[in-house]
Amino acid sequence: MTISIIATVGENNLIGVNHEIPWLIHEDLKHFRLMTMGKTVVMGWKTWEAFNELPLYGCNNIVVSRRKKYIKRNKNVKLINDPMEATKLSNDILIIGGESLYRYFLPLANMMYITKVYTKITTENEDVVTRFPNFTDIDWKLISGDYRSEFCINFMTYENINLTKSL
C-alpha cells in the first residue's frame, strides 16, 4: 500500500485562503497534472468544491465527507464517508487536500511531494487561512529538491522514515 501526499505550501505552511489556493503558478500546475495523472486522488469535499466539482481528468477521483447524503453532481466521482475506505479502493492513493485530509493522512503517508512557494502572502483574517500540518526531519527525510528560481518554487520530495514502503 502506498499513500502519498501532494501539496503546494507557502510561508508558515499556508495552503489556502478563503477556500482557494492563493497562487497561480503554471509550472506548479503542470507538475501537479504530471504527478496526479492516472492516479487515485483523494480529497475533502471543500477541496472538491474549490475545483468547481470537476473531477481531475485521467484520475480516479475520491471525495470524503461524513455526510452520507452529500450530493455529488458527477457520477465519475466516488464518495466515501471514512478516509480509510480509500485504501480499500486502491493500493496507491494520492492525497490532494485540503488541510483536514493532509492532517489525517500525514502519519500514514509514505511519500510527500511538496511544492514550496517563497512568494509572501499576507492575510488579515487568520480564520480564512488553511495550513499544512507541521512535520519535522525526525519523521520525514528530504530525498530531493528542485529549486526553480524563475518561479520562486522548490519541488521537494520527502520520505516517511517511520514507515516501510508497504503498510
Ligand X SMILES: NC(=O)c1ccc[n+]([C@@H]2O[C@H](COP(=O)([O-])OP(=O)(O)OC[C@H]3O[C@@H](n4cnc5c(N)ncnc54)[C@H](OP(=O)(O)O)[C@@H]3O)[C@@H](O)[C@H]2O)c1
Residues of this chain that bind ligand X (CB under 6 A): 7-8, 15-16, 19-21, 43-47, 50, 64-67, 70, 81-83, 96-101, 104, 130
We find the least distance from the C-beta atom of residue 58 to ligand X, in angstroms, to be 18
Of residues 67 and 73, the one with the C-beta less far from ligand X: 67
Of residues 11 and 20, the one with the C-beta less far from ligand X: 20
We find the least distance from the C-beta atom of residue 51 to ligand X, in angstroms, to be 9
> Can you tell me the distance from the alpha carbon of 48 to that of 55, in angstroms, rounded to the nearest whole number?
8
Diameter over CA atoms, the chain? 46
**Cell numbers for 167:** 503498510
We find the least distance from the C-beta atom of residue 46 to ligand X, in angstroms, to be 3
> Can you tell me the distance from the alpha carbon of 143 to that of 156, in angstroms, rounded to the nearest whole number?
8
Of residues 11 and 165, the one with the C-beta less far from ligand X: 11
Of residues 110 and 130, the one with the C-beta less far from ligand X: 130
We find the least distance from the C-beta atom of residue 96 to ligand X, in angstroms, to be 6
- Whole-Å CA distances, 39 to 70, 74, 85, 96, 133: 23, 18, 16, 11, 23
Quick one: CA dihedral 101, 38, 34, 26, positive or negative?
negative
Cβ contact 117:10 at 8 Å: yes
We find the least distance from the C-beta atom of residue 64 to ligand X, in angstroms, to be 5
Of residues 55 and 97, the one with the C-beta less far from ligand X: 97
